[in-house]
Amino acid sequence: MHLFSSAAASLRATTLTQRLVALLALGLFLHAVFGGLLTLSVDEAHYALYADKLALSYFDHPPLVGWLQWPLVALGVPDSLLRLIPQALWLTACLSARRIAQQLPALVPSWKTDHYTQEVAGLWAVALVLLAPLLHVLGVGLLPDTLLMVLSLLLMEVSLRLSTTPHTKQTAQARLRLWLTAGVLLGLAGLSKYTAILPAAALILTLCCAQGLRWLRTPGPWLALTIACALVSPVFYWNAQHEWVSFVYQLNHGSGGHWQARRLLGFFGLQLVAYGPLLFLGGYLVLRQLASSRNWPALGLLSFFLLPFLVTAGLSGGGGSLPHWTGPAWLALIPFAANALAVYWRSGKHQWIIAFVRTQAIICSLAFVALFFVGIPGVSQQHALGKKNPLADMWGWDVAGSQARALASSLQVPSISVKNWTLASRMAWYARPFDVFVLDSRFDQFDLWFGQIPTGQDSIFVNWSQMSFDLPLQAGGFESCTRVEQLNIERLGRLISDFSFYHCRNWGGAQTPTHSGKPN
């Protein structure tokens, strides 16, 4: 009988391992396919330029997203290989979420069952990552949030282990190693994004809820703080040299405009689509159970989700948030939701979970189909639905950048120009090494990289049909602009966008960006 039970357990474990490998392989396959198909997005290209123009920090973000890409950019690898970095980070996030899900029963006694059930919870964690549509964006494109989602999970794992490891002489060395690890992770998080202050606060809250304040009387947290400050010191040194422009910009950028309740409702609706209803269900089950049991250590650890999510939700009312900003928060919720769903499933309530899984699978499938066809199949740019196609943004920039570079070389024009920084990031990446000027009055990273277009200079001005502007012929602008080329971008036989290239002559010096960091 014992032999039969052991064989059954081994078979179940093998089945779970096979499912885990299948889920991870599916995610990596999808990311590799679309990583090879799509050109760099506006943010990806911007952060790839960080690596091309290496510095201690940058106008809008800390430097780690550029530093990490620098070796590959220096080698001149294609975009598809650059995207191996976010794919590796996505895989790391999946495995970290799985480990935390398996360890969480140490904080929540009602989740303590057998080893097999904990393995099931770990599998649910990976499935939840795979079923969250927007997390695939962070798994294909390297953004500061891609880094922060992994570092937040690793900090969450360290916090869990610190809060469950007792203060004894026997565990002193183990706790010190955990604190040293936390210091490195906090420093790397600070080099990734300024909102790293939120997972740092979550770590403090977790330990206070689990152990009071006695952990502050040990050397570990102070060593961690020293390490973290040393690692982030380049950001402060760079800002001190640049009039603290990053901090001024972030304060103005995050505050947004006049707060409106409808924006908050829109935020929740967008989050529901971007991350899926199954996570909302899991979050509801978790909050209901932990709040009713008043499990303060577990609620403290849950602050890795609550703090960044609530702060971002508050900012959304002023129009100062983007959907991917909550990616690290949702990943922190996933280990909790995985355990709650595993318990819910074990109680026999399968129908709701299956319905939610199917809904999220459909949302993900539709998103991937839309990406592959670049919008609605058969709808071209001439159609009303194709004139403002957001997915067209991911196609044709490599060809357009090469075309602009070739025209500038053949016409002996020293620079390329556009009207908006979102156009400049792709153009500057794909038209390297030409200077790319943004013809507006907003001070940003491009002014630090390229300065202002010199008075009297000619430039190749590029207009894109999905974000077109009037020719820069206003007072103080160019004397004249002549179209020299048009490039049509097609996908599966239909026109999705076009680029127009103009030879513009004799810039009049109208551009006067301010160095305040304030968005216009």
Q: What is the DSSP string of 399-427?
A: HHHHHHHHHHHHTT--EEEESSHHHHHHH
Q: If pLDDT is split at 50, 70 and 90, which confidence band does 328 have?
A: very high
- Residues 94-125, buried b or exposed e (16+ Cβ, 10 A)? bbbbbbbbbbbbebbeebeeeeebbbbbbbbb
Residue 512 is which amino acid? T
> Which pLDDT score, from 0 to 100, does residue 252 have?
76
For range 321-332, the mean pLDDT: 93
* Phi and psi torsions of 239, nearest 5°: -65, -35
Among 253-257, 315-319, 372-376, 498-502, whose mean pLDDT is lowest? 253-257
> Are the CB atoms for 446 and 422 separated by under 8 Å?
no
In angstroms, the CA 329 to CA 309 distance is 6
In angstroms, the CA 93 to CA 412 distance is 48
For range 275-298, the mean pLDDT: 89
Q: Which pTM does this prediction carry? A: 0.92
In angstroms, the CA 235 to CA 240 distance is 9
> Are the CB atoms for 480 and 504 separated by under 8 Å?
yes
Q: If pLDDT is split at 50, 70 and 90, which confidence band does 516 have?
A: very low
> Which pLDDT score, from 0 to 100, does residue 92 have?
97
Indicate the SS3 state at residue 499: strand
The DSSP letter of residue 347 is: T
Q: If pLDDT is split at 50, 70 and 90, which confidence band does 170 have?
A: confident
Give the pLDDT confidence of 91-144 residue by residue, as tens digits: 999 999 999 999 999 888 888 777 777 888 999 999 999 999 999 999 999 999
> Are the CB atoms for 504 and 417 separated by under 8 Å?
yes
Nearest to 149 by CA among 88, 106, 108, 105: 88
> Which pLDDT score, from 0 to 100, does residue 513 have?
55
